Every structure is written in C-alpha cells, then in structure tokens.
Amino acid sequence: MDKSKLTFRKGDLLAIVFVLVLAAAVALFFAPGRGTAENAMVQIFRDGKLMQELSLESDQSILITGEYENTVVIRDGRACIAQSTCPGEDCVHSGWISSPGRSVVCLPNRVEIRITGSSEVDFVVG
C-alpha cells in the first residue's frame, strides 16, 4: 500500500463539515455587537475628569480641544474618535466601540471615550 497518497473518505468530509459549522456558530456567538446595551451612554473624559455624557442612540459629532484636537463621532449606536491631530493617530485606528466597558484613548491629548451601561452578558467565564 502506497502511504504517500492521501485520500478522503466519506466520514472525513463529514467531520470537516461538522468542524466548519461549529466554528461558524462560535464566531456568530462571540461576534462584536452582541454585548450592546439599550441605554448605553458615551462618557468623554479629559485629564481624568468627566467632560460630557451623551446617549449612544443620538447621532452627533463633538470636537474636543486641548494640546491636540479629537473629533468624537456617535452614529448608529457606536462611537469612535474619527479624526485627530495627535501624532500617530492610534486613537483613530482603534475603530468603533459599542459595548459597555469598551473605550478608546488618545494619550497625547489625554482623552478617553468610554461606553457605559449594563450589557446583556450576565457573567464572564475565564
């Protein structure tokens, strides 16, 4: 028998399909946005002090000035720092947040946007 040749049997294909379906189900379960809260708020901090608290449900844009400028955008139940004049713009590259407990920080301008509220998740294991 030639062992250098691999062949798939009917059971092998069934096992592969099962693993792919299971992986897709796990990915959907842990997909971003599952932990969003209905009454979530966006808190904007500067130098560790709360500047503003806004509803995540109302679309708006806020300009934060300091040593640099940050533009915070709230849209479609998500928030982000859309534009910044800080070096590197790591805060802009952080992307959108929507789940309670998530935040985006601009270290050079000492600004943090944080989502607050109670999420649908009751507990975390691990």
What does the angle CA 106 – CA 61 – CA 87 come to, to the nearest 5 degrees? 25
Measured CA to CA in angstroms, residue 9 lies from 6, 15, 23, 52, 53 at distances of: 10, 10, 22, 62, 60
Instruction: For strands 111-116 and 49-55, give the pairing.
Output: unpaired
What pLDDT is recorded for position 48? 92
Beta-bridge mates of residue 50: 45
Residues 6+ apart with CB under 8 A from 9: none
What pLDDT is recorded for position 13? 81
Domain ranges of the chain: 9-120
State the Cα–Cα distance between residues 70 and 94, nearest whole angstrom: 13
Is the backbone of residue 19 left (phi > 0), alpha (psi -120 to 50) or beta?
alpha
What pLDDT is recorded for position 119? 57
What pLDDT is recorded for position 120? 57
Per the CATH hierarchy, to which homologous superfamily does domain 9-120 belong? Answer: N-utilization substance G protein NusG, insert domain (2.60.320.10)
The first and second tokens of residue 126, run together, are 């691990």
- What are the per-10-residue average pLDDT scores of the chain (126 residues)? 70 86 81 60 94 92 93 94 93 92 93 83 57
